[in-house]
């Protein structure tokens, strides 16, 4: 599917979004709401179970979506909500089992079972509620994605996403619904998980120079604000299309991890007044594919990059001031 150039706001279009308390999930919810969608966001746990950054995401989600709690995918509680929703247009299944996804022992079959539990009942319920489209979030580590030379999935997590995609493709079409995939590369932004960005900013605020251990991996670095805009554009276009299946592969800035770290350092130094240097290791071990990228740069164009960097750096500064970054 080719990226659309403009986005017409939907008329009272209602979307059920799973996974809204995740890093990318809350940004997607905000992007959909900004595009005119009414967002319903069922969450897995009780509200009291969320804390720290995840609670911050829930609070931000509540400002742009109708949030319900203790609604596992496929549960009777979720099915009852769908039936009482007053109608749905889209199911956006963003939730997925990712605990330990970098571990070589990650169980893709267990993840598939978790990702698809109750899928048949959910798809039937959303179809009866009037839905026309199901959008599943994909990964550049899946089979057929990522722009590398590997013919199949490249990690156990990628295998779990490949299997999940195949299952939903089949069940969605069997239910008479259109099926879309939105493939996410390497997102970054405020509210992100405790990974690379945390390592960089924690080091800088401590007066240290962070070591980038995998500077040669070529990744597709997609700012969360642009990702959110791209997701809304894709859903609008997919709703207006007669195609039974479609896929969006939004691309941001393709660069080695070392260059990305240097860009973050430059943006942080400019806003914080700190000496934000990075040290690049001599990478000799490649446990992941060298290249994992998307190929559609038109999605989410005309986003406010300066405002994004202001927000991103300020978020880490706030974490540091509150002691939450330690």
User: In this predicted model, what pLDDT tens digit does every residue of 54-74 receive, in sequence order?
Assistant: 999 999 999 999 999 999 999
**pLDDT of the residue at 101:** 83
pLDDT at 280 over 80: yes
Average pLDDT over residues 14-35: 98
**pLDDT of the residue at 319:** 98
pLDDT at 2 over 50: no
Closest CA to 95 of 73, 122, 63, 70: 73
The torsion of the CA quartet 124, 128, 132, 133, rounded to 10 degrees, works out to -30
pLDDT at 199 over 50: yes
Q: What is the DSSP letter of 47?
A: G
For 46, the 3-state DSSP assignment is coil
Q: What predicted TM-score, i.e. pTM, was given to this entire model?
A: 0.95
With the C-alpha atoms ordered 206, 52, 91, 37, is the resulting torsion angle positive or negative?
A: negative
Q: How far is CA 180 from CA 20, 129, 238, in A?
A: 18, 19, 7
d(CA 289, CA 20): 29
* 252 and 185 Cβ atoms separated by less than 8 Å: yes
Average pLDDT over residues 127-149: 95
pLDDT at 7 over 50: no
d(CA 23, CA 189): 8
* R_g over Cα of the chain: 19
Closest CA to 170 of 179, 183, 161, 159: 179
Phi, psi of 292 (to 5 degrees): -145, 100
**pLDDT of the residue at 4:** 41
Average pLDDT over residues 187-197: 97
Residue 6 neighbours by CB under 8 Å, 6+ apart: none
Q: What is the second-level CATH architecture of the domain 14-188+221-252?
A: 3-Layer(aba) Sandwich (3.40)
Helix-strand-coil percent breakdown of the chain, rounded to 5?
Answer: 40, 15, 40
pLDDT at 198 over 60: yes
Average pLDDT over residues 286-307: 95
Phi, psi of 318 (to 5 degrees): -65, -40
Mean pLDDT taken over the chain = 94
pLDDT at 3 over 70: no
Angle at CA of residue 118, ends 115 and 121, nearest 5°: 135
Phi, psi of 218 (to 5 degrees): -95, 120
* 183 and 144 Cβ atoms separated by less than 8 Å: no
Reported confidence tier of residue 222, pLDDT bands at 50, 70, 90: very high
């Amino acid at each position: 599917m080719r990226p659309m150039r403009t986005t017409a706001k939907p008329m009272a279009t209602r979307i059920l979004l799973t996974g809204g308390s995740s890093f990318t999930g809350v940004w997607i919810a905000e992007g959909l709401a900004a595009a005119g969608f009414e967002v319903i966001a069922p969450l897995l746990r009780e509200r009291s179970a969320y804390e720290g950054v995840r609670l911050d995401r829930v609070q931000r989600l509540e400002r742009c979506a109708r949030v319900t709690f203790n609604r596992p995918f496929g549960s009777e509680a979720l099915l009852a909500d769908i039936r009482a929703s007053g109608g749905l247009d889209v199911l956006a299944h963003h939730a997925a089992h990712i605990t330990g996804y970098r571990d070589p022992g990650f169980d893709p079959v267990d993840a598939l079972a978790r990702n698809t539990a109750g899928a048949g009942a959910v798809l039937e319920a959303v179809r009866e509620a009037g839905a026309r489209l199901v959008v599943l979030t994909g990964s550049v580590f899946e089979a057929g994605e990522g722009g590398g030379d590997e013919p199949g999935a490249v990690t156990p997590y990628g295998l779990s996403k490949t299997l999940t995609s195949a299952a939903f493709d089949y069940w969605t079409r069997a239910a008479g619904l259109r099926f879309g995939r939105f493939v996410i590369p390497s997102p970054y932004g405020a509210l992100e998980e405790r990974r690379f960005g945390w390592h960089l900013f924690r080091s800088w605020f401590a007066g240290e120079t962070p070591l980038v251990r995998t500077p040669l991996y070529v990744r597709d670095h997609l700012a969360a604000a642009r990702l959110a805009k791209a997701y809304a554009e894709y859903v609008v276009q997919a709703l207006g299309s007669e195609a039974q299946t479609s896929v969006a592969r939004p691309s941001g800035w393709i660069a080695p991890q070392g260059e990305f770290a240097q860009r973050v350092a430059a943006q942080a130094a400019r806003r914080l007044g700190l000496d934000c240097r990075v040290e690049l290791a001599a990478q000799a071990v490649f446990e992941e594919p060298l290249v994992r990228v998307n190929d559609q740069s038109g999605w989410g164009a005309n986003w406010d990059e300066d405002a994004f960097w202001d927000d991103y750096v300020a978020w880490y500064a706030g974490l540091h001031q509150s002691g939450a970054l330690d």
